[in-house]
Amino acid sequence: MREHVDASNERLRAWHEADLEHTSAQLVRHGIDAGEVIDVVARFSVAAPSWALGTGGTRFGRFPGGGEPRTTEEKIDDIAALNALTGANRSVSLHIPWDDPSDPTALRAFAAERQIAFDCMNSNTFQDQPGADVSYKFGSLAHTDPGMRKAAIEHNRYVIEVGRALGSRGLVVWLADGTNHPGQASLRGQYERVLEGLQDIYASMPQDWTLYTEHKPYEPAFYSSVVADWGTSLMLAHAIGERAACIVDLGHHLPNTNVEQVVSRLLMAGRLGGFHFNDSVYGDDDLTTGSVTPYRLFLIFCELLEPGTLPDVAYMIDQSHNLKDPIEDLIGATDNIQMALAQALCVDRDALQDAQERNDPAGAEAVLQRAFRTDVRPLVAEARRRNGAAIDPLDTFRASGYRAAKIAERGEDATATGL
């Protein structure tokens, strides 16, 4: 990929430099230093999900494009190609057992050779595994049967062990536990059992790890989910211990929820664990991050930056690529995330605070809009270039012929594990 990046950057260099100069000059007028924005964006990285290197689908079908990675190693190859283009996907988030390495130490070395690290681990107690002698039909950590709860805890312990060998920093627990029918289970009892299970898992974690609880209002449980909202997630984090925090998956909120305010509250409580980035219109649609609601993404980054610096939380993508080439979708998502960060860094904080103090909503909104409407694309492109990546990653990816080469190598029918 290196030679494609260099060739493409050389072709775009003069245009890019002119664009960069223009944007930088615009920002100076509002007291923003383009160099500082570029520095922060260049340092930023978002983990790619191991489960989204293949084509997703729905219960109505799946339409793969060919050349999907067949093994975890091939997924890491794809992420290394993605990172060569974006310079901002320096880690992978693994989902077990979809990506259960037989030799984690060897996998760690394989990934390190490609400059890819392991971000958070994700456990899976929502799908029955072939040959398993337990079933999650009626729940995992919330199950009424202590044997089932024990099996779910054991699975999480196993994921921790694998993650430890990989050099991961934490475990994300998303539970499908809930009910489909009123009265099916005690809402209180389910919560208590989940808390007890998470406390058990927490006790097995390395001291420097974080346990992340991820909430979701519905699906697959359609009457009640145990960890339905950020309030429950925060209650759990508080009850579990200091190193427990909440993951905000952007698609896991009921319509009209002010997600940026949720982010602000969790940050204030010291319990913002990080993100599963995606976008949505209706529910947990898992669309390309920033493709539908880029302003919301910008406002989220504004909240993250309010204390002054970007918090060191887990930034991860969680998407399903139903139509697009998965790598192209991840390129787009990463670019949109970086742009939202860059736009938020372009907010004239003093002017905003001043307008807020003077109770001037129109003035305050104008400050935000000015930053949001700034064409930050040259700043993000420059951050990529400084990281040795592509000024135009999508175009470079297409010109590289990567997918065609993978179709030839892996086959038209190669299928990746995951959703």
**Which residues bind to Mn ion, rule: CB under 5 A?**
249, 276, 318
Q: What one-character DSSP code corresponds to residue 288?
A: P
Separation between Cα atoms, residue 289 and residue 280, nearest integer Å: 8
CB-nearer residue toward ligand PSV: 5 or 194: 194
Q: Which residue, 174 or 191, has its beta carbon nearer to ligand PSV?
A: 174
179, interface contact from ligand PSV, Mn ion, none, CB < 5-8 Å by kind: none
Are 372 and 343 in contact by the 8 Å Cβ rule? The answer is: yes
Residue 277: CB partners within 8 Å, gap ≥ 6? 46, 250, 289, 315, 316, 317, 318, 319, 333, 337
Work out how close the CB of 86 gets to ligand PSV at its nearest, in angstroms, rounded to a whole number.
21
Give the nearest distance from C-beta 419 to ligand PSV in angstroms: 4
Q: Exposed, middle or buried, 405 (CB in 10 Å: 0-12/13-18/19+)?
A: exposed
Considering the complex, state which of residue 4 and residue 252 has its C-beta at the smaller distance from ligand PSV.
252
**Least distance in Å: CB of 386 to ligand PSV?**
32
Task: List the interface residues with ligand PSV, window 370-399 (CB under 6 A).
Answer: none
Q: How many CA atoms lie within 13 A of 146 on its CB side?
A: 0
Residue 122 makes contact with ligand PSV by CB under 6 A = yes
User: Residue 318 CB, nearest distance to ligand PSV (Å)?
Assistant: 5
Q: Restricting to residues 156-195, name those near ligand PSV by CB under 6 A.
A: 174
d(CA 223, CA 181): 6
Q: Is 264 in the site for ligand PSV (CB under 6 A)?
A: no
* Residue 398, H or E segment: helix 393-400
What is the closest distance, in whole angstroms, from the C-beta atom of residue 235 to ligand PSV in the complex? 19
Residue number with the shortest CB distance to Mn ion? 276
Q: How far is CA 151 from CA 10, 124, 142, 322, in A?
A: 55, 12, 12, 32
Q: Which residue is nearest to ligand PSV (CB)?
A: 174
Q: Does 284 bind ligand PSV (CB under 6 A)?
A: yes
Give the shortest CB-276-to-Mn ion separation in angstroms: 3
Binding flag, residue 419, ligand PSV (CB under 6 A): yes
Residue 393 or 418 with smaller CB distance to Mn ion = 418
Q: Considering the complex, what minimum distance in angstroms separates the CB of residue 113 from ligand PSV?
A: 27
Dihedral in degrees, nearest 10, Cα atoms 196, 199, 203, 205:
130
Whichever of 24 and 225 has its CB closer to ligand PSV, that residue is 225
Whichever of 58 and 359 has its CB closer to Mn ion, that residue is: 58
- Assess 280 for contact with ligand PSV (CB under 6 A): no
Closest C-alpha among 15, 129, 33 to residue 348: 33
Q: Prior bond to 378 cis, omega within 30?
A: no
Angle separating helix axes 294-305 and 326-345, nearest 10 degrees: 50
Q: Which helix (H) or strand (E) holds 247?
A: strand 244-249
DSSP secondary structure of 153-198? HHHHHHHHHHHHHHT--EEEEE---EESSTTSS-HHHHHHHHHHHH
| Residue whose CB is less far from ligand PSV, 216 or 385 | 216
Nearer to ligand PSV, 119 or 249 (CB): 249
Return the residue of 214, 303, 328, 392 that touches ligand PSV, per CB under 6 A. 214
CA distance 335 to 317: 12
Contact residues for ligand PSV, defined by CB under 6 A: 51, 122, 174, 214, 216, 249, 276, 284, 318, 419
